[in-house]
A and B are shown apart, each in its own frame.
Chain A
Amino acid sequence: MTTAIGADTARKPATMAQALGRALRDAMAADPSVHVLGEDVGTLGGVFRITDGLAKEFGEDRCTDTPLAEAGILGTAVGMAMYGLRPVVEMQFDAFAYPSFEQLISHVSRMRNRTRGAMPMPITVRVPYGGGIGGVEHHSDSSEIYYMATPGLHVVAPATVADAYGLLRAAIASDDPVIFLEPKRLYWSKADWSADAPEQVPPIGRAVVRRPATGGRQSATLISYGPSVPVCLEAAEAARAEGWDLEVVDLRSLVPFDDDTVCASVRRTGRAVVVHEATGFGGPGGEIAARVTERCFHHLEAPVLRVAGFDIPYPPPMLERHHLPGVDRVLDAVARLQWESEWTEGSAV
């Protein structure tokens, strides 16, 4: 009995945290070049216990408690990758990854390019991210836009237990650096989950329609990823009462971006709302809205709307519910999709 997530539990309900742990375990078992490193990942099994049991099963050389230095962790991962290993790095919390940005932006993201393809960086950076868990300052940031704005990085965020497993396996197998955003408020979400089912190992860069529209008269697409997907699914249910037929697209991957799946959905429904926790201004939604507009302009019945966190530093936990986009705010946006021209004339909320 070495790991919390043994093979025998593969077909039982699991939490997202367990699915991530199992993905790491399976990847390490399958490929001896996979190494896990970070703060507290060994003896403790990580502060969220994602790496629980790995040091015991694979030894401390393959699951290593590092000194407390994010730039050092990612910088040494670069050297390890140069020498043929596949480092999987854990950043303890979103806002604690920032000291590593120098390595990330100056080296990890562009090493392939700098070396004309000679030196790929098969590094996975796991970042527990986002709010909703009552964390104090610096424990709830949604930093995806910084990663998205850096060419050379893949950026993914699972929303389901199965995707957490599949996408992490895909990230580790990728020959490019992948920023793996783990929505920490979904860590304890449960699902019936089987690691064996092939559709549960999605390739990076493929969005999925989580909830199809059924051909109703007033239809729209909710586009989101990570922790906002369950919010959108709930909103879609609630919107039925208002006569709305909502399709929910889970992006799963922000970079590369699956224009095909997103635009096919928007062409079906004619309207779109992008939903995410990150701040709205200069946030991921702006890019997504622009892409949808460029590709689906003639299919749109209304402008693409964004529902995002406010443009403020992440608030203290007692107020985070007012900041995070919830079902009501999504429904308000859906209501505004009944486009009327006077809306443009200074009524912007």
Chain B
Amino acid sequence: MTVLEQPGAYRPTPPPGWQPRVEAAPLLPDAEPYRLLGTAAAADISPDLLTRLHRELVRGRRYNTQATALTRQGRLAVYPSSTGQEACQVAAGLVLEDRDWLFPSYRDTLAAVVRGLDPVDALTLLRGDWHSGYDPHEHRVAPLCTPLATQLPHAVGLAHAARLKGDDVVALALVGDGGTSEGDFHEALNFAAVWHAPVVFLVQNNGFAISVPLAKQTAAPSLAHKAVGYGMPGRLVDGNDVAAVHQVLAEAVRRARGGGGPTLVEAVTYRIDAHTNADDATRYRPDSEVEAWQAHDPIALLEDAMRDRRLLDDEGVRAARESAERLAADLRTRMHQDAVLDPMELFEHVYADRTGQLREQAAQLRAELDAEAGDSGKGE
């Protein structure tokens, strides 16, 4: 028998003065992901909210398929699709007040668009023109973040700063299941809990980090369980149930705004498409798994629930689809125009004031461009 196996050996008498700091139990997530659609409680959700969620879900799906098509046409360098995860994206995009901040990762373009970003501006990173095509302050959306989990401490810092200034601003930070393994995830959650920062962390657990399944990512009972160790509540929710995700996030946001500190939410969902258009998902997962999840589609779940409550009919579905087609058409038209980029802008915004060095290099590039233009002029 090892020391750890001896009954009681691991539970020494507490030292004098030891007090439990918090009741552990309220922090623990439920064993099962929280579902709302199809339950009796769903009757309380406002029809307006459901209609809004539905419209955004349908538009979001269309946005994903259109963006994926644009990669095939060479108009986007890469697109990490959120097809199948639209419920998380829509809920995250709608749940915040204007003054709040969203901290997305590279897969979260849709959440940013739902929050109000221009769909084309949201894609510049992935198109390859500029790293970020929008001013983060305009809609309070931080730049889409590619290095995993590195945006999480930013969210904590921003929320902390807002609180120091007396503003009741909440930050919602998005991360994937894989990203929860990074050190930055740990540091962000720990800071948030210690500082009692008004932050909500939403983990979209879509089953895979590129090819690596959750079982190889973590041995935790759920990612929501990780919250307990930091001293914040963990909530587990069905990530394809848009009403449930919205409700859980809304509660967490309310709690944060009211001074209750951070929450970790794990939404259990699935990445229907490959990691990006460059990935071959057949190498690491069977089609049958994808099909099983397609049977749990976020749009179908919501439409069924809404039809049950007579909040949606064929006409309503058609209206949402038309709105989605308009979005897609607009995206297509504008993305089919070549981006006009001025190479001289390479030297903009490296520093507030251009250094002498960069002025020299700009002059060099200017001369090269002029020579190029001269050469091509000669040929005509």
Contacts and interface: CB of A to CB of B under 8 A. Distances in A.
Contact of A68 (B126, B130, B182, B364): B182
Interface residues of A, number: 40
B284 A44 contact: yes
Nearest to A44: B211
A40 B346 contact: no
Nearest to B345: A319
Contact of B363 (A65, A135, A323, A349): A349
A322 interface: yes
Interface in A233-257: none
Given A318-B341, A319-B341, A310 B283 contact: no
A312 B348 CA distance: 9
Contacts of A316: 124-125, 128-131
A315 to B, nearest CB: 5
A348 B77 contact: no
Contacts of A68: 148, 178-179, 181-182, 209, 212, 217
Interface in B177-213: 178-179, 181-184, 209-212
A69 interface: yes
A313 interface: yes
Contact of A134 (B77, B284, B350): B77
Which among A44, A72, A137, A317 has the greatest number of chain B C-beta atoms within 10 A? Answer: A137
Interface residues of B, number: 47
B340 to A, nearest CB: 10
A137 B125 contact: yes
A348 B363 CA distance: 10
B368 interface: yes
A136 B131 CA distance: 8
Contacts of B350: 311-313
B310 interface: no
Nearest to B347: A312
A137 B181 contact: no
A39 interface: yes
B95 interface: no
Contacts of B216: 65, 67
B294 interface: no
A188 interface: no
Contacts of A139: 146
Contacts of A328: 368
B125 A136 contact: yes
Nearest to B358: A311
Contacts of B178: 67-68
A99 B182 contact: yes
A281 interface: yes
A349 B360 contact: yes
B78 interface: yes
A121 B209 CA distance: 29
A264 interface: no
A72 B183 contact: yes
Contact of A136 (B128, B217, B358): B128
A47 B357 CA distance: 37
A69 B346 contact: no
Interface string B240-269: 000000000000000000000000000000
Contact of A40 (B77, B211, B368): B211
Interface in B109-136: 124-131
11 contacts: A43-B283, A44-B283, A65-B211, A67-B181, A68-B217, A72-B183, A95-B146, A98-B147, A316-B124, A329-B368, A349-B364
